[in-house]
Amino acid sequence: MAIEIVQVVGFGLIATFLIVIVREQKPVIALAIALVAGGMIFLFIMAPLQSAIELISTLSGQAGINNMYIQTLLKIIGIAYLAEFGAHLARDADQESIAAKIELAGKMLIIMLAVPIFQVLVETVMALLPGGA
């Protein structure tokens, strides 16, 4: 497992080198290389991550935690990663405003996902209060 970091770093260095070479002539193709390199590194670490997430899911099921919470958490992580990926790419292409909008949309969607959990929290607190509900 530890040897994989060498592969990832080597891959990243090769991609960086190629981007620097190509950017002189064709900036668009350099951006395409950056996009593909980012996607491939994430695909590469996805296989170990998937087993780890399955483990978390199994453990939370054994601990009796409601499955909805874990699923919401994973969705939030996924949205955060995707928004970051898109925002970094837009920033690489010197489109700062698009990057800011992507990040804003990511934050909004995360808030939307967190609303049901917050609702449950508020209901629990209200039930604990003596005069409430």
Binding site for another protein (CB under 8 A): 7, 11, 14-15, 18, 21-22, 25-26, 28-30, 32-33, 35-37, 39-40, 42-44, 46, 49-50, 53, 57, 71, 74-75, 77-79, 81-82
Cβ–Cβ under 8 Å, residues 30 and 19: yes
**CB 30 to another protein: min, Å:** 7
Q: Are 133 and 107 in contact (CB under 8 A)?
A: no
Q: Which CB sits closer to another protein, 79 or 90?
A: 79
Smallest gap, in angstroms, from Cβ of residue 17 to another protein?
Answer: 9
Per-residue b or e along 66-105, where b marks 16 or more CB atoms closer than 10 Å to that residue's CB: eeeebebeeebeebeeebeebbebbeebeeeeebeebbee
- Rounded to a whole number of angstroms, the minimum distance from the CB of residue 131 to another protein is 41
